[in-house]
A and B are shown apart, each in its own frame.
Chain A
Amino acid sequence: MDVELFKDGKRLDGRDVEDLRKPLKLEVGVLQKANGSAYMEWGKNKILAGVFGPKEAIPKHLANPERGVIRCIYTMSTFAGLEDHGRMGPNRRSIEISKVMREALENVVMLEKFPSTIIEVYVIVLQSEGGTRVSSLTAAAAALMDAGIPMKEPIAAVAAGKAGGKVILDLNKDEDNYGEADVPMAFTKSGDIVLFQMDGKLSKEELETAIDYGWKGTEKLFELQRKAFEEEYSEPLDKKLRMVE
């Protein structure tokens, strides 16, 4: 299908090629019972992430006596998208995203400090508008920091790609569906790439531009993560009413 993705040099939602979607909001410590949590709004994406642990690895065969393991589960809620998603259980797509998120997080979480334990990261997409895997990963990293789980450095993720013949940053749903390429990527703060996938075709030069845009985009997300914690700790915490047995 031929869809016009650019109008007067601007994208359909009025952005330039290098702009992130708005609103871009991140809040940490939003859940009472989770050790760490984060809520993110990114464009029309609404993501909730909760972290538990480190705790005893169950079932026991998962336990690794040398380092901890991460269990990451990404789910899309039944009411997340335009189409009917049906039930919320695991499917091909969510299993894939859970796997790539886990592998990205394993690069920065200091798992060697927690042998024989498991750290659980749960992400639910409440509303989706394309690019949920990258926003989920950005929120999950913030939730891990909120849980006080030692990490070498933060990670943040963003998608770049190509639509209407131009390399663009942070694709929305239309640009993802009708564009030429989608490249979700995640960076650590020191610039290592910990997630990189590509759907579609890009030339070498276009890919280099996409990575360049992606890095600039993640720098804004690192600032967002920092701001979320500065806000959280600038006033009394209201999140936790302690349980009493």
Chain B
Amino acid sequence: MKRIYIPGDVIDEPVAKSLAVREDKGKLYATVVGTVEGKSFIPFELAYIPVVGDAIVGIVYDKKPSVYFVDTNSSYTGLVIARDLRGAELDVGDVIFAKVKKVEEDSIVLGDIKILQNGKIMSVPSSKIPRIIGKGASMLNLIKDATKTVIYVGANGYVWIAGKDVGKSVKAINAIIEKAHLSGLTDEIKQMLESD
């Protein structure tokens, strides 16, 4: 079994500093529960903090003449400036896939808006997103191909799914979340998708 670090544990490996790793007097400490894989510290669970360039999935929850307000599954309110849409309009309840353009005190400005229609939204812990995508999107493509679905994964933990077998891909993603911290994940998901 891999060693599990809890907050305050010294990390001896040279991992990169992040929200989950803090440095004090030349030593690295974990700040959340997680494990070390290669050169990086993998948190099992971590609150989402937006960074410029993140691709996220959001839900429009309010609109005003010049701005739309978007639920981003975090403490930040997403803002879509109406003129950035070049004439297109959004409605309350619309799901969008967007890039984070600017992070402000308690809001984020979104750009490159893509409206997603006729799908389902799933909420997952944002720390599991890298596992759902996999190396070079291998895991995501595996699920997409096996279930004939279109999937948009937001760094904020919202996953939008549409297509033929939505139920099966939801099952696969749930399995990834439950087993993300164990080894042999890809094979297991492959087997699961090939059966039934």
- A117 engages B75 (CB within 8 Å): yes
| Contact residues, B37-94 vs A (CB, 8 A) | 43-47, 49, 74-75, 77
Please tell me the number of chain B residues within 8 Å of chain A, measured between CB atoms.
Answer: 39
- A149 engages B32 (CB within 8 Å): yes
Given the known inter-chain contacts A56-B77, A152-B22, please indicate yes or no for A236 contacting B178, CB distance below 8 A.
Answer: yes
Given the known inter-chain contacts A56-B106, A116-B75, please indicate yes or no for A148 contacting B125, CB distance below 8 A.
Answer: yes
Whether B168 sits at the interface, judged by CB under 8 Å, is no
Residue of A nearest to B8 (CB): A153
For B122, what are the chain A residues with a Cβ–Cβ distance below 8 Å? 242-245
- B4 engages A233 (CB within 8 Å): yes
Residue of B nearest to A190 (CB): B8
For A116, what are the chain B residues with a Cβ–Cβ distance below 8 Å? 75, 105-106
Q: Encode B158-192 as 1/0 by CB contact (under 8 A) with A.
A: 00000000000010011001110110000000000
- A150 engages B32 (CB within 8 Å): yes
- A154 engages B121 (CB within 8 Å): no
| Contact residues, A209-245 vs B (CB, 8 A) | 225-226, 229-230, 233-238, 240-245
Bound-state Cα–Cα, A146 to B75, Å = 18
For B105, what are the chain A residues with a Cβ–Cβ distance below 8 Å? 65, 115-116
Please tell me the number of chain A residues within 8 Å of chain B, measured between CB atoms.
Answer: 46
Main secondary structure of the interface of B (DSSP, over half): loop
Whether B97 sits at the interface, judged by CB under 8 Å, is no
Bound-state Cα–Cα, A108 to B32, Å = 12
Bound-state Cα–Cα, A57 to B173, Å = 31
Residue of B nearest to A66 (CB): B105
Q: How far is the CB of B153 from chain A (nearest CB, A)?
A: 13
Whether A110 sits at the interface, judged by CB under 8 Å, is yes
Residue of A nearest to B161 (CB): A244
- A234 engages B31 (CB within 8 Å): no
* Minimum-distance CB pairs A-B, first 8: A153-B8, A148-B45, A150-B31, A117-B75, A116-B106, A151-B7, A148-B46, A236-B178
Additional pairs, 17, CB under 8 Å, beyond known A116-B75, A154-B8, A242-B123: A55-B74, A116-B106, A145-B32, A146-B33, A146-B45, A148-B125, A151-B7, A151-B31, A152-B8, A154-B6, A154-B7, A226-B4, A235-B182, A236-B178, A240-B125, A243-B123, A244-B121
